[in-house]
Amino acid sequence: MIVMTALLVRVKEVYNAIAALPEPNSIFEEISSWIEMTGGPYGGEYNTSDEIAGGVFANIASDWANFTFSPEIFMEADGYVFVVGNYTGVNKATGKSLQARVVHMWSRKAKGKLCFEQFADTALLRNAMQN
């Protein structure tokens, strides 16, 4: 029997909430740190729900058509959840398609809030955004 920890259950719920809502701002209230890979178009650390919504998700909506993250594998180790999947989409400015394999790392920090960190091939993201 596979037992899922509370963290793994919550991470899966976050992905479902983000996919289901046109503007998932309320889900960001429980995230204390969202780190996009340095070198990527949105690289940096976002520490409030407004920063996450505006600095990451609003930019994605502005820059990409049909952008999705499709999680395939969920793994747990030492208080972390790792999610392996793919980004896909079409850049609105260039018309170029994106397909990039990525890993997301989740943990719980202060006051039980979630922390997110992205690991991605930032060159694939940038190449799709450049003519």
What's the domain range around 35?
A: 6-18+28-129
Mark out the alpha helices in 23-120 (DSSP H runs): 49-52, 58-63
Does a structural domain hold residue 46?
A: yes
**pLDDT score recorded for residue 110:** 67
Say if 1 falls within a structural domain.
Answer: no
> pTM of the prediction?
0.91
Residue 101 lies in a domain: yes
Q: How many domains does the chain have?
A: 1
How are beta strands 31-36 and 114-120 bridged, if at all? parallel
Averages of pLDDT over runs of 10 residues in the chain (131 residues) are 81 88 76 95 94 93 95 94 97 97 92 93 95 89
What's residue 5's pLDDT?
87
Give the domain CATH number at 53.
3.10.450.50
Cα–Cα distance for residue pair 32/111, rounded to 1 Å: 9
Domain membership of residue 23 (yes or no) is: no
- Whether 37 is in a domain gets the answer yes
Give the residues across from 36 on adjacent strands: 44
- The pLDDT of residue 26 is 78
